[in-house]
Structure 1
């Protein structure tokens, strides 16, 4: 059994940051364990390749929720990264810091996490193409690319339509004012994905004091009394490692699962599965938040990406352009436009995030690859999700088997607010489609379709056809009150020593926007806290 200063479980958005930062001084011995393989695969490095790994079990945990009673028993597919870089290696690459008020919510329950404390961290992280203006950062590890000059013409038409609907354009939604329609900013560098692994981990791999093991599935945290002293993991056979500190960075699903498998969680649940209770905490796996989205699909009378990504010849042309220039549609995300706006009466901050894709595809059952097989007709998607849903789900282990997926209870649409804002969002999609900019190119609404007219019909459509935006978080949330949280403001697990959680599971509330940037920020903040304590 080898000894380390820090054992990090999970090489995702936060874990890659931690491994890089904690090994910077050349002295601390760091072991990073990742259940998945290397990220050096063309479908991961090519930005639009996420359409190919969306269902690929080599790089993806491929989780599915339990039937949701709020959605007529619908089960939702939850892809999660199982690879160096974690979900930052398989996501749509949209870079969104969130709204300053998100972090005021965090700071209210976890001192030190307010906007004034985290804003400098976002600047440290960023290598923003627009340069350092006092708000955005330049020269950081994560390159952030503005796509506005490369997007499909329909995306410019989308911004025009939004203006006609009364929503002006935001020149930089990560800048001083988040609100407005926008072209999305994505994490790419030189036409390749700038994941957390590529941005942080790869430059650190040559360090002698950092050891990275892939294909290493951690099965439990080892304790001596109430102190975490190491981990047990399978890599070929069963192995173990000792560490002065163990840090879980497995994400919003795997971190609470591992805590429960290791004896930290709801006492009755652990005892039912024959797991000795190290520290009872009913909050482990609770407070599960996610963004639920919905969209409208339109057939149009102008060419879309369907005509480029669909035919074999079109794919060959796009592939050659990418190989020769690292540019073109394969260097982008399918979500080219979007933004953050207010639609509910009395809203003081953005309550809807928008998505526009100049491509369309029928959302197919688990096991297919819809993102790289678009519809045969010219089509586009206008979608959205509520920024601050109030419904909460939960997860729990289904047995003591560390290789069995946990039960995932999404509990979407559980509150009146969530149901109301989803209805308002779908009505807005139709309002945007009815603007002059779009009405002259739209031929018909494929779905929801003309037969969906009143609120009851639209509510049924939402229950049946809404989808996750892949932003699960909050299952080990931080806070000062152990009765309401799992970790404290320094990300230490309540009631034990030598154990922290550092990933999206610690978010006290769900951010306004995509979760990758906040997860990377949590890794940076945790590294500062840990190094300060070590000094």
Structure 2
């Protein structure tokens, strides 16, 4: 019956052999998938992957396979309960990628990816940050719409915002309906416990549904759950790792014919290799760490990396895995006086100071330093990019965002969740727009082995200066009313960074930061959407250069970091990508 219906849907001109196996929904078994053909194969069932798959499979004539390394954990409270945030970290639902300096980049290894284990913050960057993307592409691609006006409608398309309820309004909650979507699949709301330009202090919406007792609204819950039992043209295979892309044409442009994959559980790295065939496209949506690694394993990357590993370089694309940018955070806290907390809720209050607010009277000197140092910084980071000249162009676009747009450089993230005590005032301070660049590189032909992740934390000294200035400002806030009236004094770092008229010496703050900072789990840039002369890996249509049918759709395409949490933008990118893919067929 299924084959009959599907034949009618796709037309009599399609042969019976070309139609995918009638397996749909979510499965952990390769039976009925191995050796089968699909129109689209999506590598990664995370934030972007499920969004793209859901939109493409809206057409019943199109068949879609998603392959996700993690399991289906939607019934696990570490996933559906936002109040369990951080409980999944370093466990079976977390890739827990090791980086240098003993740091870890937490990343969701479960259906829904990081949208299933993150803090749920629903924030966006400034308009100018998205507009800058277009300036780094070919002029002929301006009409593709990688700017605020072209991406904002897709961010709204993904969103189903629930306005504040009467109790929240009574307590001061406000919102602008013009900047929120009202009919998308991802619920966002204020918990029971905004957009355009984020230089403010605000209580932010989260990707939760307060009408369902603050249930997390992950990509799995939003895009897959409502249709998984009725959309027979979409199958999601969990607990399987894509080991490489398979090519039918190995001359330029490369043509992907499908994928190779293997069983992957918490106890098993499968030795059997399975295959699935793609009639139209292979879409990489495995995240900023794994997407470039899969390309490298497939022979697409820097020949200087692949050659010594005995991987035949099919496409010598030097910047695959490069241009890595990751944010950093450092904690501060002070004792509280037991002030009452009315209500509960996950962390949602953030302040976003810009460079001028961080440095005050010293801003002019810092501006001059930034403007004059760009060539030096570009030269120092060129090994992790395409060239010093290319990076200088990117850095100047980033500097313009900082100086002209006055985009936030720091996020002061007020922590109210389960990891702080009732009488503690705690803040995580994030450096949002690093100039340091790193890279992701595979270390062997074993797809189960983690790649080397070299974030290059604080390699540009300006990044450390920003973190220091942010902590000094936060110390000033802690000792100023009304916070000081609620506090018994700073406890972290406290005496470890002696206070003085300047809020502590730079040297003491730097030592504290280097001993205590963490990665934020917001890596971007490793398959950057840039014109080729700047080191781009994908073009404005998200197609990997010199391939005919391979795209990347995840945060790895972001050319520059954002002054925001990533999920709202990733959803928007994926929604837009789905329309680009549909238009190309």
Q: How does the TM-score come out when normalised to structure 1?
A: 0.84
* Unaligned segments of structure 2, at least 5 residues: 1-34, 164-174, 264-269, 368-402, 499-504
Residue pair 2:157, 2:572 contacting (<8 A) in 1 also: no
The CA deviation at 1:373 is 5.6
Q: Is the partner of 1:212 in helix, strand or coil?
A: strand
Residue pair 2:152, 2:572 contacting (<8 A) in 1 also: no
- Judged with a 3 Å threshold, the aligned counterparts in structure 2 of structure 1 residues 301 and 117 are, in CA distance, closer, same or farther, namely same
Q: Distance in 1 between matches of 2:80 and 2:476?
A: 37
Which residue of structure 2 lines up, in the alignment, with residue 216 of structure 1? 240
Q: Distance in 2 between matches of 1:288 and 1:280?
A: 19
Which residue of structure 1 lines up, in the alignment, with residue 350 of structure 2? 338
Match of 1:251 among 282, 287, 297: 287
Q: Is the partner of 1:8 in helix, strand or coil?
A: strand
The CA deviation at 1:441 is 2.1
Which residue of structure 1 lines up, in the alignment, with residue 311 of structure 2? 275
Q: How does 1:96-245 map to 2 (within 5 A)?
A: 96-110=123-137, 111=142, 112-130=145-163, 133-147=177-191, 150-151=192-193, 173-174=194-195, 176-189=196-209, 190=212, 191-205=214-228, 206-224=230-248, 225=250, 226-235=254-263, 237-243=272-278, 244-245=280-281
Root-mean-square deviation over aligned CA pairs: 1.8
Which residue of structure 2 lines up, in the alignment, with residue 446 of structure 1? 491
Residue pair 1:304, 1:358 contacting (<8 A) in 2 also: no
The CA deviation at 1:268 is 1.4
Residue pair 1:283, 1:483 contacting (<8 A) in 2 also: no
Q: Is the partner of 1:245 in helix, strand or coil?
A: strand
Q: Is the partner of 1:134 in helix, strand or coil?
A: helix
Q: Is the partner of 2:60 in helix, strand or coil?
A: coil
The CA deviation at 1:399 is 0.7
Q: How does 1:337-486 map to 2 (within 5 A)?
A: 337-342=349-354, 343-344=357-358, 345=363, 347=403, 348-358=406-416, 374=420, 378-453=423-498, 454-481=505-532, 484-486=535-537
Instruction: Give the count of matched residue pairs.
Output: 465
Residue pair 1:304, 1:379 contacting (<8 A) in 2 also: no
Which residue of structure 1 lines up, in the alignment, with residue 31 of structure 2? none
Q: How does 1:40-51 map to 2 (within 5 A)?
A: 40=74, 41-51=76-86
- Judged with a 3 Å threshold, the aligned counterparts in structure 2 of structure 1 residues 283 and 436 are, in CA distance, closer, same or farther, namely same
Which residue of structure 2 lines up, in the alignment, with residue 527 of structure 1? 578
Superposed CA deviations along residues 27-84 of structure 1, whole A, max 9, x for unmatched, are: 1110000010003212210112222111212x11111113xxxxxxx21011111111
Q: Distance in 2 between matches of 1:477 and 1:246?
A: 18
Q: Distance in 1 between matches of 2:47 and 2:184?
A: 15
Kindly name which structure, 1 or 2, has the bigger radius of gyration based on alpha carbons: 2
Residue pair 1:265, 1:282 contacting (<8 A) in 2 also: yes
Q: How does 1:490-509 map to 2 (within 5 A)?
A: 490-509=541-560
Superposed CA deviations along residues 339-392 of structure 1, whole A, max 9, x for unmatched, are: 322224364232222200135xxxxxxxxxxxx5655x7222122212211111
Q: Is the partner of 1:341 in helix, strand or coil?
A: coil
Match of 1:27 among 37, 61, 76: 61
Q: Distance in 1 between matches of 2:455 and 2:569?
A: 21
Residue pair 2:124, 2:198 contacting (<8 A) in 1 also: no
Residue pair 1:304, 1:380 contacting (<8 A) in 2 also: no
Q: Distance in 2 between matches of 1:411 and 1:75?
A: 12
Higher mean displacement: 474-483 or 212-221: 474-483
Q: Distance in 2 between matches of 1:15 and 1:441?
A: 45
Which residue of structure 2 lines up, in the alignment, with residue 38 of structure 1? 72
Q: How does 1:38-77 map to 2 (within 5 A)?
A: 38-40=72-74, 41-57=76-92, 59-66=93-100, 74-77=101-104
Superposed CA deviations along residues 443-483 of structure 1, whole A, max 9, x for unmatched, are: 13222112413110111101111111211111000122166
Which residue of structure 2 lines up, in the alignment, with residue 8 of structure 1? 42
- Judged with a 3 Å threshold, the aligned counterparts in structure 2 of structure 1 residues 177 and 284 are, in CA distance, closer, same or farther, namely closer
Q: Distance in 2 between matches of 1:30 and 1:409?
A: 34
Structure 1 residue ranges, 4+ long, deviating more than 6 angstroms after superposition: none
Which residue of structure 1 lines up, in the alignment, with residue 335 of structure 2? 299
The CA deviation at 1:303 is 5.7
